[in-house]
Amino acid sequence: TNAPGSGTPTGTVTFTGPGGLNVTVPLNAGGQACLSSTSLTSGTVTATYNGDGPCFAASSGTLALAVNPAATTTTVTATPNPSVCGQSVTLCATVTANAPGSGTPTGSVTFTAPGGLNVTVPLNAGGQACFSSTSLITGTVTAVYNGSSCFLPSTGAASLTVNPAASTTTVTATPATSVCGQSVTLCATVAITPPGSGTPTGTVTFTGPGGLNQTAPLNASGQACITTTSLSSGTVTATYNGTSCAGGSSGSVAVTVNEAATTTTVTATPGTSVCGQSVTVCAKVTTNAPGSGTPTGTVTFAGPGGLNQTVPLNASGQACITTTSLATGTITATYNGEGPCFAGSSGTITVTVNPATTTTAVSLTPNPSVCGQTVTVCAKVTTNAPGSGTPTGTVTFTGPGGLNQTAPLNAAGQACFSSTSLSSGTITAHYNGAPCFTGSTGTATATVNPATTTTTVTATPNPSVCGQTVTVCATVTTNAPGSNTPTGTVTFTGPGGLNQTAPLNAAGQACFSSTSLSSGTITAHYNGAPCFGASTGSVVINATSVATTLTAAPRQIRLRLNGTFVIQTMNATLRNAATNAPIPGMTVTFTANAVSGPILIGTAVTDASGVATLAPPTVTVPSTIVTATSYTASFAAAACFARSSVTAGLTFVPIPPVP
């Protein structure tokens, strides 16, 4: 109490200050009011005495107060620890005030840890900050108390062990039963086994029959799928390869892959052909849905004409053959299957194979030829494109001379015959056709010339005597390359006026006999025939002849009144010198022996008396004859009579003239 007052005030004092201080405390007996607080903060504390009337007036006083932050300790716990990936772990940081500080710290704690953990959590009323996480990884967790106006920051740490979580892998195949080449989806679902959680990451490797070995990543749902068309029956295993946070695991599924049905389609190009034409037959084997892929293996083609051929499929699933030996009918292509993936199938196609047209060419060797020469006639039958092959069957040859002959074709498609009796003209060869080849006709012109001949003449006997019977024969033969026996006639000519024609016999010989042949050359002329050329031969006859004599009388050359010159009655007599018998039928030639040379007066034939008389009896002669003083009558020999001649005088008598 201020003087002059006295006494001990009573009543209350109200304390106010920073931090919301506002506390009223009663004065004790000593006039003092006190309070204790752990929540003061730096600043000015005002104590206001509220007075206690009517005796004591109110008053106030102040005090500057400095309150420093208290130090703190941060303790970190992880529950559970150790844990597994994905397991829920609760991290707690407990912050306490260090003495002499007290109270429960406020504010927040920031948790950091490997794996990018950075979380700030407020302290609760108990001075503890907690949070739970399923994404922690092994390492040191640090909790930093960030402090407040009254509490200093502090840091705590805890070592955290997070092991990989166990996993399970479940495999499915859709569809589980398929056919070769069908699209099958294989899926592996990987799940974390509690207490782990979360969706696994990483890859799954699928292995199985048919060489399956494929790795696929897990998607956001923890599933890895592949789609394949190359499965075969067996067990497919899916192995989860694990990560740092999830252990590996595997699962399997049994798959059944049956043979896929196939379709075989057959084509023939061209579909309508001719015998021997090149035809390509193809079988295309395709896999029926839901199967896929290109079939492998072989196709067997069977059909008319003995077709039976097996061919492998190419990379496109096609097998082809090319043949020139098809026949009309149905071709079946049988796909023989290729287990265990492709079932067999077959297809057919109808092909029409018409006869191929042909060409017939005819040849003659030699050509031209001669009668009787061996001539080979050949017909070569060839197949016209697009056909091929060698025709079979027969060829009929017709032609002049009644030719009509059928011969078979040989392995080279040729039919031949040889003949020595061809004649000129057109030879036609008609190929008579066969089931696979149409008939055709060809021609060739044959030129057959007459064959040359040789005529050989003989006389038997030779030599002979006049009057003896002599047989003269001409043998006509055909010269090579001709053949056969000539036909026709032979004309014999020779001394004594011989001129006789005789026919050839079947041996090609013509003969005659005579008793009147005389020495000299007998010529035999073969007169030829359509098929044989003429030829000539000769033989010298030696016949002993009869001596003859000629007698003639002198004659005169007279001048006629008209100025011409004549010889009146000129003749000569021919007789057998031995018997003096007249020789009739012989020719006597009369020649005047003029100064300028012989002048032919004329010829006459002896009569029965052997007398040859010029006719008319008065013979006109040229004027130059007047220089002749003689004339000669001559017999040139004939038959078996020897030659002889006689010369007689010839006188020119101009006066008196004759009529």
**DSSP secondary structure string for all residues of 351-382:** EEEEPBPEEEEEEEESSSEETT--EEEEEEEE
pLDDT at 299: 98
pLDDT at 639: 64
SS3 650: strand
pLDDT at 652: 93
Mean pLDDT of 184-202: 95
Q: Using an 8 Å Cβ cutoff, are 518 and 546 in contact? A: no
What's the CA gap between 591 and 312, in Å, rounded?
Answer: 114
Mean pLDDT of 248-273: 95
More confident residue, 31 or 640: 31
Structure tokens at 244: 């740092």
Cβ atoms within 10 Å of 384's Cβ, excluding its own: 15
- In CATH, what is the architecture of 72-163? Sandwich (2.60)
Would you say residue 638 has pLDDT above 80?
Answer: no
Would you say residue 467 has pLDDT above 80?
Answer: no
Would you say residue 67 has pLDDT above 70?
Answer: yes
pLDDT at 18: 87
Least confident of 39-43, 379-383, 500-504, 604-608: 39-43
Mean pLDDT of 618-634: 92
What's the CA gap between 232 and 227, in Å, rounded?
Answer: 13
Mean pLDDT of 239-249: 94
Q: Which long-range contacts (CB under 8 A, 24 or more apart) does 250-254 make?
A: 250/169, 251/168, 251/169, 251/170, 251/171, 251/188, 252/171, 253/171, 253/172, 253/173, 253/176, 253/186, 254/176
Least confident of 35-44, 111-120, 204-213, 650-659: 35-44
Q: What CATH topology corresponds to 262-354?
A: Immunoglobulin-like (2.60.40)
Would you say residue 207 has pLDDT above 90?
Answer: yes
Would you say residue 542 has pLDDT above 90?
Answer: no
CATH of domain 548-658: 2.60.40.1930
The CATH superfamily of 358-444 is Immunoglobulins (2.60.40.10)
pLDDT at 96: 96
Average pLDDT of the chain? Answer: 93
SS3 522: strand
Mean pLDDT of 318-329: 94
Mean pLDDT of 100-106: 93
Listing DSSP states for 120-131 in one string gives: EEE--TTSEEEE
Least confident of 416-425, 542-551, 601-610: 542-551
Sign of CA dihedral 24, 26, 31, 33: negative
- pTM higher than 0.85 for the full model? no
Q: Provide the residue type at 316 as one letter.
A: S
pLDDT at 608: 95
pLDDT tens-digit series, residues 492-532: 999 878 999 999 999 999 999 988 787 789 999 999 999 99
More confident residue, 465 or 241: 241
Q: Using an 8 Å Cβ cutoff, are 141 and 91 in contact? A: yes
- Is 451 exposed, middle or buried, given 0-12, 13-18 or 19+ CB atoms closer than 10 A? buried
Listing DSSP states for 536-569 in one string gives: EEEEEE-EEPBPEEEE---EEEEEETTS-EEEE-
pLDDT at 1: 87
pLDDT at 536: 97
Mean pLDDT of 378-394: 96
Mean pLDDT of 602-608: 95
pLDDT at 517: 80
Q: What CATH topology corresponds to 167-258?
A: Immunoglobulin-like (2.60.40)
pLDDT at 210: 81
R_g (Cα) of the chain, nearest Å = 78
Give every CB contact of residue 444 below 8 A, 6+ residues apart in sequence: 362, 363, 364, 367, 377, 426, 427, 429
User: Over 472-505, what HEC string results?
Assistant: EEEEEEECCCCCCCCCCEEEEEEHHHEEEEEECC
Domain with CATH 2.60.40.10 in the chain: 72-163, 167-258, 262-354, 358-444, 453-544
Cβ atoms within 10 Å of 113's Cβ, excluding its own: 23
What's the CA gap between 139 and 163, in Å, rounded?
Answer: 11
Give every CB contact of residue 378 below 8 A, 6+ residues apart in sequence: 362, 363, 364, 365, 414, 415, 416
pLDDT at 468: 82
How many Cα neighbours within 13 Å face the side chain of 620?
6
pLDDT at 568: 86
Would you say residue 115 has pLDDT above 90?
Answer: no
Least confident of 159-163, 185-189, 447-451, 544-548: 544-548
CATH of domain 453-544: 2.60.40.10
Least confident of 352-356, 465-469, 557-561: 465-469
Percentage, residues of the chain above pLDDT 90: 82
